Amino acid sequence: MSQSDPVSRHVLDQAIDWQLRFGEIHDNPEDLSAWKAWLNAHPEHLRAWEQLNGIERYLTAAKPPMARQTLLKRPSTLQRGRTLLSLAVVVLLGLAVTDRYVPLRYALADAVTPTGEQRVLTLPDDTRLTLAGRSALDIRFDAQQRRIVLRTGEILIETGHGDTRPFIVETPAGHLRALGTRFIVAEEPRGTRLTVLRSAVAAHPRHGLAEAVIPEGDAVLMTPDQLDEFTHAAPGAAAWAQGMLVVDNERLDQVIAALGRERVGLLTLDPQLADLRVTGSFPLHDTERALRALSANIPIRIERHTPFWLAVKPDF
């Protein structure tokens, strides 16, 4: 269980009480012993303390710190401080849950999709864009070019015909120039993954000196400095646009990551299962059904810890 896992309101209230008294604890050996005993009594206590101090660091960075002694002068002031801290916890946890549904940092993008949903856009030049869940992009068409800025997520692009302006997809890693084509662009931790389904795409890393043409049927990871070695496009690479995950001898951790991107809640995998191989087709919009199908074919079991947290564990 990680330090970011949720804690009960009762334990959180206890942690807030200790937090507001913490300035006096070191001057009182009995209080210090009592605090240590509470902290070590249950893992949830330590988790609540770590989360609360993380929130306090966030608030301290945003505003000048409030003097603890002022909070401790009168019981009514202590209660107000406790209430305000509780409210801050609720607000920040609420923002975290909201961000799991829709990426808040990209809320002002021209097009945004929430977790587990797709969106299809037809642009003025008849280009068709399919946005996967948790995707965000900006549309910048002018007289010289047609430019899409992919902020996060994944898109399937089918470019319109009859428009002579270059069609460019800009990402943090560089830019891609369509050569009359159908292709997928996905943001990954290391860079931008391009999969060419039809025709070709010219890729130019942000710090590179020249572009390279990726042909139909190939895929490549583009980082700001270079293009990795070309690989064959995965079978069913565009199946997600029809709501399916199609994999052939794929690692289980990659499959669980793909299903996890479709869930508002948390989906975790026991690390010892990461290397298991999976082949099959699974529904993206019914992830629990997909997990049941997985558990029927490989030695895993699904544990439900809360309505929003599913854990994949070994069953061998």
- How high is the pLDDT of residue 54? 53
pLDDT at 49 over 90: no
What's the confidence (pLDDT) of residue 125? Answer: 94
Domain limit, last residue, from 175, 204, 232? 232
CA dist., res. 95 & res. 149, Å (int): 25
Whether residue 305 is contained in a domain is answered as yes
- Asked if residue 192 belongs to a domain, the reply is yes
Per-residue pLDDT, 300: 96
Alpha carbon distance 166, 231 (integer Å): 26
Residue 95 in this model has a pLDDT that exceeds 70? no
Does residue 164 lie in a domain region? yes
pLDDT over 90 for what percent of the chain?
A: 53
Mean pLDDT taken over the chain: 82
Residue 38 has pLDDT above 60, yes or no: yes
Q: Which of 43, 50, 59 is nearest to 18 (CA)?
A: 50
Assess if residue 4 is contained within a domain: no
Among 82, 101, 120, the domain-final residue is 101
For residue 310, the domain's CATH number is 3.55.50.30
Tell me how far CA of residue 58 lies from CA of 88, 89, 100, 271, 313, in angstroms.
Answer: 10, 11, 19, 31, 34
How many other C-beta atoms are found inside a 10 Å radius of the C-beta of residue 36?
11
Are residue 175 and residue 252 in the same domain, yes or no?
Answer: no
In terms of Cβ atoms closer than 10 Å to its own Cβ (0-12, 13-18, 19+), residue 236 is middle
Question: Using one digit for the tens of pLDDT, what is the confidence trace for 283-313?
Answer: 998 999 999 999 998 999 999 987 778 999 9
Given a cut of 80, whether residue 11 has pLDDT beyond it is no
Same domain, 116 and 223: yes
> Does residue 168 share a domain with residue 59?
no
In terms of domains, do 88 and 123 share one?
no
* pLDDT tens-digit map of 124-163: 999 999 999 889 999 999 999 999 999 999 999 999 988 9
- Is residue 2 a part of any domain in this protein? no
- The CATH number covering residue 176 comes to 2.60.120.1440
Q: Which amino acid is at 55?
A: I
What is the Cα–Cα distance from 57 to 19, expressed in whole angstroms?
13
Whether 115 and 197 share a structural domain: yes
In a domain, 78, yes or no: yes
Looking at the structure, tell me whether residues 162 and 118 fall in a common domain. Answer: yes
* 216-269 residue pLDDT tens: 999 999 999 999 999 999 888 999 999 999 998 999 998 998 898 888 778 999
Number of C-beta neighbours around residue 291 at 10 A: 21
DSSP 227: B
Radius of gyration of the chain (CA): 25
As a whole number of angstroms, the longest Cα–Cα distance in the chain is: 80
Distance of CA 110 to CAs 29, 140, 176, 260, Å? 58, 9, 19, 25
- My answer on whether 228 and 125 are in the same domain is yes
Task: Please check whether residue 178 lies inside any domain of the structure.
Answer: yes
In the chain, the amino acid numbered 288 is E
| Residues 115 and 95 both lie in one domain | no
Q: Is the pLDDT reported for residue 93 higher than 60?
A: no
Note whether 266 and 200 are same-domain residues. no
Residue 177 lies in a domain: yes
Banded model confidence at residue 180, pLDDT cuts 50, 70, 90: confident
Which residue from 107, 96, 108 is spatially nearest to 264, judged by alpha carbons? 96
pLDDT of 25 strictly over 90: no
Same domain assignment for residues 90 and 121? no
Q: Are residues 262 and 200 in the same domain?
A: no
Are 261 and 220 contained in the same domain? no
Last residue of a domain, one of 232, 253, 282: 232
Domain that holds residue 257: 243-314
Distance of alpha carbon 219 from alpha carbon 186, whole angstroms? 11
Please report how many Cα atoms fall inside a 13 Å half-sphere around the Cα of residue 249, on the Cβ side: 1
Whether 164 and 176 have beta carbons less than 8 Å apart is answered as no
Number of domains in the chain: 3
